Amino acid sequence: MDTKNLILIGGGGHCKSVIEVAESAGFSILGILDTAENVGHKVLHHTIIGTDDEMINYVDKALFVITVGQIKDPALRIKLQQKVINCGGQFATIIASTAYVSKHSILGEGTVIMHQAVVNADAKIGVGCIINTFANIEHDAVVGDFCHISTGAMVNGNCTIGKGTFLGSQSVMVNGVNITEGCVIAAGAVVRKDIVIKGVYSGNPATLKIK
Ligand code: JB2
């Protein structure tokens, strides 16, 4: 198998951003899988070549990446990642040409580091994460599986983020704070102390809005 070939799962807005990233990193996109009504449509210069039922046809030809995005809830990304695994598929881990990723950091499979993001020394990023454009993951931070760290978010040194949490654009975690699993942190929120109850948080300091 040519590990520079990719099949993208999901052909919406997030897929466009991942195409930019993947091509900058030297990958070739064989095609996109989406829902039946979208087969044959184009996403930028690439074609939706089939549905998820056709994953099996590509396991020995390409690596996969989930390009359905994630605002709030990672359930669909988790389901699709599992479907790829069940077919025997393998995932690409993609780093944009303009991102900086420390050689002392660890990235999980299927994670995409978007343009201009930074992952600093000894940071650990789980599987299936989106580290979006201009996000900053500082030294020793730990990001759980299937998190989306949105555009321009700041995860400072020694922070930890539980599985499936969404960190909104330009939100900030001050040094060393922890956020539990499955939270939604609104754009611009400033997390100043540990968040231990799953929920939706916003403001500065970030406070619980919805449990
Ligand atoms: O089960 C599915 C499935 N369900 C929806 N399998 C596959 N392969 N694809 C699926 N989709 C497809 O995901 C939809 O048909 C559609 O083409 C795509 C979702 O596109 P949309 O543009 O609505 O959202 P997105 O997930 O690509 O992007 C969201 O998240 C990003 C992080 C948007 O909110 C973006 O603005 C955001 N940057």
CATH 2.160.10.10-classified regions of the chain: 97-202
Helix (H, G, I), strand (E, B) or coil at 123: coil
pLDDT digits (tens, 9 = 90+) for 109-137: 999 999 999 999 999 999 999 999 999 99
Question: Which residue carries 């989406």 as its tokens?
Answer: 34
7-38 tens-digit pLDDT: 999 999 999 999 999 999 999 999 999 999 99
Q: In this model, does residue 169 exceed pLDDT 80?
A: yes
Q: Which band of pLDDT confidence, cut at 50, 70 and 90, is reported for residue 62?
A: very high
Q: What is the pLDDT of residue 200?
A: 98
Q: Which CATH superfamily is domain 97-202 in?
A: Hexapeptide repeat proteins (2.160.10.10)
- pTM value? 0.97
Our measurement of the distance from residue 171's CA atom to the centroid of its chain's CA atoms, rounded to an integer in Å, reads: 16
Residue 51 CA, closest ligand 1 atom number: 8
Q: What is the pLDDT of residue 60?
A: 96
- Cβ neighbours for 118, distance < 8 A, ≥ 6 positions apart: 99, 100, 101, 135, 136, 137
Centre of ligand 1 to C-alpha 90, Å, is 21
Query: How many angstroms does the Cα of residue 52 sit away from the middle of ligand 1?
Result: 13
Q: What percent of the chain has pLDDT over 70?
A: 100
- What is the predicted pLDDT for the residue at 142? 98
Ligand 1 atom closest to 11 (CA): 17
Query: Which residues are registered as beta bridge partners of 29?
Result: 6
Tell me how crowded residue 47 is: count the other CB atoms within 10 A of its CB.
15
Looking at the predicted structure, is the pLDDT value of residue 61 above 90? yes
Which residue lies with its CA nearest to atom 8 of ligand 1? 34
What SS3 string covers 137-206?
A: ECCCCEECCCCEECCCCEECCCCEECCCCEECCCCEECCCCEECCCCEECCCCEECCCECCCCEEECCCC
Model pLDDT for residues 66-114, shown as the tens digit of each residue: 999 988 799 999 999 999 999 999 999 999 999 999 999 999 999 999 9
Q: What is the dihedral of CA 24, 89, 84, 100, to 10 degrees?
A: -30
Domain 5-92 listed as CATH 3.40.50.20: yes
**Mean pLDDT within 199-206:** 98
Is pLDDT at 183 greater than 80 in this prediction?
yes
Put the strands of the sheet holding 130-131 in their side by side order: 94-95, 112-113, 130-131, 148-149, 166-167, 184-185, 200-202, 207-210
Stretch(es) of the chain classified as CATH 3.40.50.20: 5-92
